[in-house]
Amino acid sequence: MGLSIHHVNKSFGEPPHRVLKDINIDIDSGEFVAISGKSGSGKTTLLYILSTLDDPTSGEVKIDGVNPYTMSTKDIHEFRNAHIGFIFQFHYLLPELSAIENILLPARKHDLHRQKYSRAEELMNQFGLTNKNDRLPSQLSGGEQQRVAIARSLIMEPKYLFADEPTGNLDSANGLVVMDLLKKINREQQTTVVLVTHETDYAEMTSRIINLVDGEVVP
């Protein structure tokens, strides 16, 4: 179980520009790993490949022992919905839905929103959003919106959580709140967490740092 990628290369454009170069990474179930590196080093590209959102130009990707790119479109969608949570730098909450409706959106896709309602409320309480169920995103602070987005990523209790600069738009107090939540999810639910960050302080809060320099993993 876990994630593994071997001899992965990724190129964009014509002539091809090589963005990831012979990447080999194994991540065990339950690990909390940071992908660190400067802007343009390939962090987001790598996260997309690890999380089944994009395919490599060459090389092998396995999640729970299966190559996601051999699955049918339907199967891969189901796999993602059931097992993977995503947190993006810009949270993409739906502006016309309330906080709790946004959290329940992934459950709604499976017609599980009624069963998941109390779990959504529990997450809101844990994340310091008590009594804010009915607020629209525009009526929440940036930090609160990001916590709603994290709660949404967790509503289906994913085995894997991929987060791309989730602290990017937050001040340091809110950034630390988000890091504490990620640590707690990893510790208490044994969720495998892969965090992209260019901030060394945050990377050091994880149990392993993968350093990217110009598309290569360096020690």
Ligand X SMILES: Nc1ncnc2c1ncn2[C@@H]1O[C@H](COP(=O)(O)OP(=O)(O)OP(=O)(O)O)[C@@H](O)[C@H]1O
Smaller CB distance to ligand X: residue 57 or 126? 57
Q: What is the 3-state secondary structure (H, E, C) of the chain?
A: CCEEEEEEEEEECCCCEEEEEEEEEEECCCCEEEEEECCCCCHHHHHHHHCCCCCCCEEEEEECCECHHHCCHHHHHHHHHHHEEEECCCCCCCCCCCHHHHHHHHHHCCCCCCCCHHHHHHHHHHCCCCCCCCCCHHHCCHHHHHHHHHHHHHCCCCCEEEEECCCCCCCHHHHHHHHHHHHHHHHHHCCEEEEECCCHHHHCCCCEEEEEECCEEEC
Rounding to the nearest 10 degrees, give the CA dihedral for residues 193, 115, 103, 123: -60
Q: For residues 121 and 214, which CB has a smaller minimum distance to ligand X in the complex?
A: 214
Least distance from Mg ion to the Cβ atom of residue 101, Å:
28
Q: By C-beta, is 44 or 102 nearer to Mg ion?
A: 44
Q: Which of 198, 199, 209, 214 binds ligand X (CB under 6 A)?
A: 198
Q: Nearest CA to 196 among 71, 61, 50?
A: 50
Say which entry of Mg ion, ligand X, none residue 19 contacts (CB below 5 to 8 A, set by partner kind): ligand X
Is residue 45 part of the contact set for ligand X (CB under 6 A)? yes
Compute the least distance from the CB of residue 77 to ligand X, in Å.
21
Applying the rule CB under 5 A, the residues between 8 and 67 that interact with Mg ion are: 44
CA distance 133 to 78: 28
| Shortest Cβ 200–ligand X spacing (Å) | 13
Length of the chain counted residue by residue? 219
CB of 69 to ligand X, least distance (A): 17
**Among Mg ion, ligand X, none, residue 65 binds (CB under 5-8 Å by kind):** none
Binding mask 141-160 for Mg ion (x = CB under 5 A): --------------------
Decide which of Mg ion, ligand X, none touches 45; Cβ closer than 5 to 8 Å per partner kind: ligand X
Among residues 27, 37, 178, 191, the one that binds ligand X under rule CB under 6 A: 37
Tokens of residue 76, six digits: 């891969």
Nearest distance from C-beta of residue 47 to Mg ion, angstroms: 8
Closest distance of CB 206 from Mg ion, Å: 17
- By CB under 5 A, name the binding residues for Mg ion: 44
- By CB under 6 A, name the binding residues for ligand X: 12-13, 19, 37, 39-45, 198
